[in-house]
Chains A and B, each alone.
Chain A
Amino acid sequence: DTEVTQTPKHLVMGMTNKKSLKCEQHMGHRAMYWYKQKAKKPPELMFVYSYEKLSINESVPSRFSPECPNSSLLNLHLHALQPEDSALYLCASSEGYSNTGELFFGEGSRLTVL
């Protein structure tokens, strides 16, 4: 079963709020990713975790803070966001960071920042 589960599906927050996005996969994948997608644009890579360690941070502002508690879970902590951060946030996973496996996406968390 190829499934990446994201919660919540929708989130509305103010600029002073603190919230978290959660992602879970049970495919035994060792690499997990956060992407950001704006309307009518392709996904943009934010972070990559490989074997629970942060491998890539694509110069993402510190108001986004990723966390990987274990190999199945990935969180994205949000604080002091701006309205332009409103987007679809996608979690993805693959067998490994450097191998040739496919990348599987979750359904996304749609974030609106007021």
Chain B
Amino acid sequence: QKEVEQDPGPLSVPEGAIVSLNCTYSNSAFQYFMWYRQYSRKGPELLMYTYSSGNKEDGRFTAQVDKSSKYISLFIRDSQPSDSATYLCAMRASGSARQLTFGSGTQLTVLP
């Protein structure tokens, strides 16, 4: 079993839809959770960074962490064609960025 599981998709939604992207993990030591957006042939762009459990909102993006269930989510409201990209979750325990573990990424397409 992988430490971090992420549905690779592909996921296609119509413009304006609410998108839900999810990752599950097995390592209870993970405390820092990140979501990256990666456009084709570009580097990952940090979207959200959260610590421990709870919600964080930034514009159309909301990140949720449920440590009791070992489950994290990224919600995109009013999705736009420009949101079409691969979304990577990443997480780590405290102490070292070496232990940053990525999900495999979910490919999202928002159709106009």
Contacts and interface: CB of A to CB of B under 8 A. Distances in A.
10 contacts: A33-B97, A42-B105, A45-B100, A48-B98, A94-B97, A97-B97, A102-B34, A105-B36, A105-B46, A107-B42
Interface in B28-52: 32, 34, 36, 41-46, 49, 51
Contacts, number: 59
A56 to B, nearest CB: 5
A40 B43 contact: no
Give the most central of B46, B51, B97, B104: most A CB within 10 Å: B97
Interface of B: 8, 32, 34, 36, 41-46, 49, 51, 88, 90, 94-98, 100, 102-105
A31 interface: yes
Given A31-B97, A100-B94, A42 B103 contact: yes
Contacts of B88: 42
Interface string A78-111: 0000000000101000100110111111111010
A113 B8 CA distance: 28
Contact of A43 (B44, B46, B49): B44
Interface of A: 2, 4, 6, 31, 33, 40-43, 45, 48, 55-56, 88, 90, 94, 97-98, 100-108, 110
Contacts of B46: 2, 102-105
A42 B97 contact: no
A110 B45 CA distance: 17
Contacts of B43: 4, 6, 88, 90, 105-108
A42 B104 contact: yes
A102 B45 CA distance: 11
A104 B105 CA distance: 17
B98 A103 contact: no
A103 B45 CA distance: 9
